[in-house]
Chain A
Amino acid sequence: MTRQRDHDGSVWEMNQEVLRRRDPGLAEVLAQVAPGSQVEVLAGRRGRPTLRVRGRTLHSLYDPENEASLWVEQNRKIIEGVSQILIFGFGLGYHLRELVKINRAQLLVFEPSLEVLRAALETLDLRDVLDQARIFQDVEVALPHLKEGFVLLEYPPSVKVWEEYFQKVRCRLKALQRKGSPLKIQVVGPIYGGSLPVARHCASALRSLGHHVDFVDCSLFKEVFLSIDKWTPDVDHRNNLKEAFVQFASDAVLARCVHYQPDLVVALAQAPLPPRALETLRRLKVPIAFWFVEDFRLRDYWKGIAPLYDYVFCIQREGFLDLLRSSGIERCHYLPMAACPQTHRPLALSQEEIAEFGSDVSFVGAGYYNRRQFLTGLLDFDLKVWGTDWDLHSPLGRCVQGDGTWLETETIVKIFNATKININLHSSTTHEGADPFGDFVNPRTFEIASCGAFQLVDYRTEMAHLFEIGEEIVCFKDLEDLRQKIRFFLHHADQRREMAKKARERVLREHTYEHRMKELLDFLYQSGLELPPWSAVRENAEAMLRKAGPETPLGRFLASLAETGELSMDHIVDAIRSKRGPLGEVERIFLFLHELEQLYGRSNG
C-alpha cells in the first residue's frame, strides 16, 4: 500500500486536531481503526492519490481534482442559497474540498466505511471540510441534525460501492423530505359501528392538516349488510352471506384504491379489509396503517390482520403493545381517542331545547349489560337515558327517551350541552358496573369535554395521562361514589362549569383528531414511510421552482402560481384557464401536456 501525502508533516495529525474539536467521538473511533484490506490508497498518474474499494476507484486516476470540480459544477445550481447539504459518500474528500470552496452551507456527510474515513484523513488536508461538515454512519443519529429544506447530493462512485446502505438512507431521507408536503391518503371506515364516526373525523382532520383525502365510506353498504340477518334464520347461511358480502366490500375498497392511487391507506377497526385484500395492498406496495380503536381483549380479530399492516395504532398500552411487538409487529404505537371540536362544541340552547334534551343526570349510548345494571341505581335522580339497546320493560325503561332510537350526532351534542351531569360509564358485558381494571378511555370522554359539558366518568388507568383528575375531570369508582359526587355537583354549578371549561381547554390543546392524525403521520415518517411506486413525485413548489430555474420563463410562470405551495398539473391548468387574454408559450406547453395525457393516457395511443 502506497501512501501519498499532500505535503510533509502529518496530515493525519492536522485533520485529527480539527476533528477532535468538532466531533471528538468520531475522532476517537477513527484513531482506533486499523487499516483493512478492503480499502486501498493508490498513487494516481499525476501524483494525486485515489482510493480503491472492492475493486472500484472512488476518484479519477488521472485528475481527481478536475473531476471533483466538475461534480461541484454540475450541482452548483441546486445548492445555491441552501442552508444544509447532505452528501452521500466521503471518499478521499476531493469533491468535498471543492464544494467548501464555493459554498458555506453546513454539510452532513454519510459514509458507511470508517476505513475510508481513516484513509481520507491520512491522505488529504481536509481541515476546511471537517470545519464545515459532520460525518455520520447511522442515519438515525443524523436525523435530529437535519434542517428543513436540505438538499441531497450523491457522490456516485461511493454510492455504487455501498448501494444497499445508501438506498436505505435515501429512503429514510425521502420520507422526511416529503414531510410537510401533502399526501394522498385514503381513509377506509367500517360498514357500521362505533369506529365509523371516528373514520369520518380522521378524514376531515387529515384534510385540515393539508392532505388530499379520499374517505371510503363503506356505510353505504350498511343497509344491505344489516338486512342479511333478516334474510334467513339459518345462522350458518347468514354467516356465509356476510362473509361473501365483506369480500365484495373489500373488492370495492380495492377498486377505489387502485383508482385513487393513494400514498397511504388508513383503515379503522372493522374496515372491510380481510387478509386477502391486505395482501393485495402489500403487493401494490401501498403503506397501510391500522387504527384499532377497540378493546383488544374483547375483539380479538386483530390477531389475524394486525401483522398484515405496516403500522398499527391502538388505544391500549399495557399488555397490548408488548403483545403486538412479540407478534412481530415492530411499528406499533399508542394513539388514544379524541374529539372533533367542530362537531362536539358548546351550544347555546333555547328553553325548549333545554327542556327537551336536558336533565339533571343523563346517559347517552348503547345499553350494554353493565350500564343497564348500573344506571338502575340512579333511578331516584332526574335521569334521562338515551340511545339504543335498552330494555324498555325494565325499571330503567321509563327513563329511556324516545323509545330507544338511534340518535343523530347533532342531537347528542345538544343532550351533552343541556345535561347538568353527563354520566360516562365505559361499557362492559361482564361487569355489574365499572371495570376496575379498565384501561383505555372512550371517545365519549373527549366528546363531552369538547362540548364544554360536565361529566362524571369511571376510573380508567389511562385517564390520568389524558386529563388532570380533580382539576379537569372527575372520576368515580362505584355506584356509591357516583351518587355522592352527583349530589355534590348538582349543588355546585360553578364548579361544574369550571371543570368543564378546563376539560375543553385540555381537549383543544391535546386531544383533537388533528392532534392524533399529526401524531400518526409523525410516527409513520419516523419509522420510515416508503411511498408506493405510483406515487407521483409531488415536489413542493420550491423544489419545482429551483428545478425550473427562477430566471427562466418557466420559472417565472411557476412563481406566479406558487402561493398555494403545490404545483400539480390540475392546479396549473386551472390557473391557465381562469386567466384572460392571449396564451403564451409556457401556457401552451402545459396545456399540450395536459391534453396529451388526457387523450393518450386513457386510450394508450
Chain B
Amino acid sequence: MEQKVAIKIDDLTVAYNYKPVLWDIDLEIPEGVLMAIVGPNGAGKSTLIKSILGILNPIAGSVSIYDKPYKKQRQLVAYVPQKGSVDWDFPTTALDVVMMGTYGSLGWIKRPGQKQKKAALEALEKVGMLPFKNRQISQLSGGQQQRIFLARALVQNASIYFMDEPFQGVDATTEIAIINILKELRKAGKTVIVVHHDLQTVPEYFDWVTFLNVKKIATGPVKDIFNDDNLTKTYGINYKVSIQE
C-alpha cells in the first residue's frame, strides 16, 4: 500500500543553550496514521512537536507538510498543547476558548461571528462538553479542560493534529472519549500525532509509533517495531512490556 507522506522532517536539530535536545532527526510520517511519540522524560518529545509547529526555532533542519514548507501549510495543522501550559484561572468561558480555534482562519482583526460560534458549539458537542459551554474555565475538571483543548483543535478542521500528552491527568472516561475521537479522526483520513507516556496502551490506541530519545530510535507500524529491543534502546534499561498482538 503506497501512502502519501504527510510530514517530512530532515536533519532537525534543536538545542537549548548549547545542549542538544533533538539531534539530527529524519522522520517521515505517512498520511492517515495515528502515531504515538514515546520516549523518556527529556527525550525531546514536546520539543519535536513545537519545532514542527514553529513555536521553537531549530538550529538546523527543515519541516515540510505535504511537500511544502510548514509556514505555507498552517491551515492544515491543529495543535493541542499540554494542559498545564496555560493559566486556567483566565477570565473566560469554555465556549470562548473553543472559539479561539477559529481565529487562525479569520486572520487579523476580523471578529468571530455566527458561523464560528456554530462550529465551536458543534466541537463542544463532539467532546461531550456542550452543557458546560458557559462555564468559567477554572471551574472545569482536568479532564474537562483537556476536552476543551481538544474541541478547540477540532474547530480548526485541520488535516494533521498534534497533541502534547492529551491523556495526562485525565480519568478513564475522558481517556476513552478522547481516544475514540482520535480514532474517528484517523477514520476520516486525518493524521494524528500524539506525545504519549503510557506504554501499556500504545498497541491498543495507535497504529504507528516513533521512539525518540534525543535521536530518533525507530519509527514505523506498531505491530512491526513496538518491541523490547526498541524499548530498551529508547529507555536504556531492559524494558519488558507485554505486547498485545
A, B: real partners:
no
